[in-house]
């Protein structure tokens, strides 16, 4: 595992998603790994820590999640712009070499039999909370966060630190048609005490 990756307390894991980034969703079942990009993910609760993500019915990753009951949410970086676009526009159903063609490198974390995408700035291992009606009607999946990690060069002590990190580590924010933004500069409100 990369020396810059460190665990995050679960009660602060929601902060990885508070900035509204484009995410990568990965899953594994029966020896098959896949990664897809998604734009609609949201923190849901603190204790236990939970999140939501929208996964279309045609996505192979959705099928793997439904079968395995586990998945990972990752925060890709500016350096991963092409990779993010590729995994969002290629299908494992049509291209068995999708991950290789998209430049995806996977790694493991002890205690989690999941495919983690190398090069991201944050990772959230999740256990699916089955909600068949939400999944079928709204494509909405709920996950309980079972482990969280960040790249300490950009997120540590429970806070993003983009202004002091390499700009290649900034988060991506998808608009449409291959158009993304990188997160911008910080703005601080006067007289507000910072949270722990």
Task: Determine the pLDDT at residue 195.
Answer: 64
Q: For residues 122 and 170, what is the distance between their CA atoms, to the nearest angstrom?
A: 11
In a domain, 76, yes or no: yes
In a domain, 189, yes or no: no
Q: Could you tell me the pLDDT band of residue 196, with boundaries at 50, 70 and 90?
A: low
Q: What is the mean pLDDT of residues 25-48?
A: 95
In a domain, 103, yes or no: yes
Q: Could you tell me the pLDDT band of residue 191, with boundaries at 50, 70 and 90?
A: confident
Percent of the chain beyond pLDDT 70?
97
Q: What is the mean pLDDT of residues 165-186?
A: 93
Q: What is the mean pLDDT of residues 55-81?
A: 97
In a domain, 145, yes or no: yes
Are 165 and 12 in contact, with CB atoms under 8 Å apart? no
CB count within 10 Å of CB 50 equals: 19
In a domain, 91, yes or no: yes
pTM equals 0.94
In a domain, 191, yes or no: no
Question: Which domain does 152 fall in, by range?
Answer: 5-182
Are 43 and 8 in contact, with CB atoms under 8 Å apart? no
Is the pLDDT confidence value at 193 over 90? no
Task: Determine the pLDDT at residue 187.
Answer: 86
Q: For residues 182 and 173, what is the distance between their CA atoms, to the nearest angstrom?
A: 6
Task: Determine the pLDDT at residue 190.
Answer: 85
Residue 125, domain CATH: 2.30.110.10
Tens of pLDDT along 17-31?
999 999 999 999 999
Total of domains in the chain: 1
Task: Determine the pLDDT at residue 188.
Answer: 83
Q: For residues 144 and 182, what is the distance between their CA atoms, to the nearest angstrom?
A: 28
**Average pLDDT, whole number, for the chain?**
94
In a domain, 44, yes or no: yes
Is the pLDDT confidence value at 10 over 90? yes
Closest by CA to 38, choosing from 71, 102, 84, 69, is: 84
């Amino acid at each position: 595992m990369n020396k810059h990756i460190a665990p995050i307390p679960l009660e602060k894991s929601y902060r990885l998603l508070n900035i509204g980034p484009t995410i990568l969703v990965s899953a594994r079942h029966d020896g098959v790994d896949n990664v897809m990009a998604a734009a609609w993910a949201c923190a849901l609760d603190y204790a236990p820590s939970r999140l939501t993500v929208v996964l279309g019915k045609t996505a192979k990753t959705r099928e793997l999640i439904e079968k395995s009951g586990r998945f990972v949410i990752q925060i890709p970086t500016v350096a991963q712009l092409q990779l993010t676009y590729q995994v969002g526009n290629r299908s494992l159903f049509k291209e068995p070499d999708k991950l290789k063609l998209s430049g995806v490198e996977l790694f493991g974390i002890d205690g989690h039999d999941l495919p983690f995408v190398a090069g991201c700035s944050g990772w959230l291992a999740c256990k699916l909370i089955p909600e068949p009606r939400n999944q079928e009607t709204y494509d909405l999946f709920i996950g309980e966060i079972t482990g969280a990690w960040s790249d300490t060069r950009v997120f540590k002590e429970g806070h993003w630190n983009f202004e002091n990190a390499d700009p290649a580590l900034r988060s991506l924010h998808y608009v449409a048609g291959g158009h993304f933004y990188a997160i911008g500069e910080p703005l601080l409100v006067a007289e507000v005490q910072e949270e722990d």
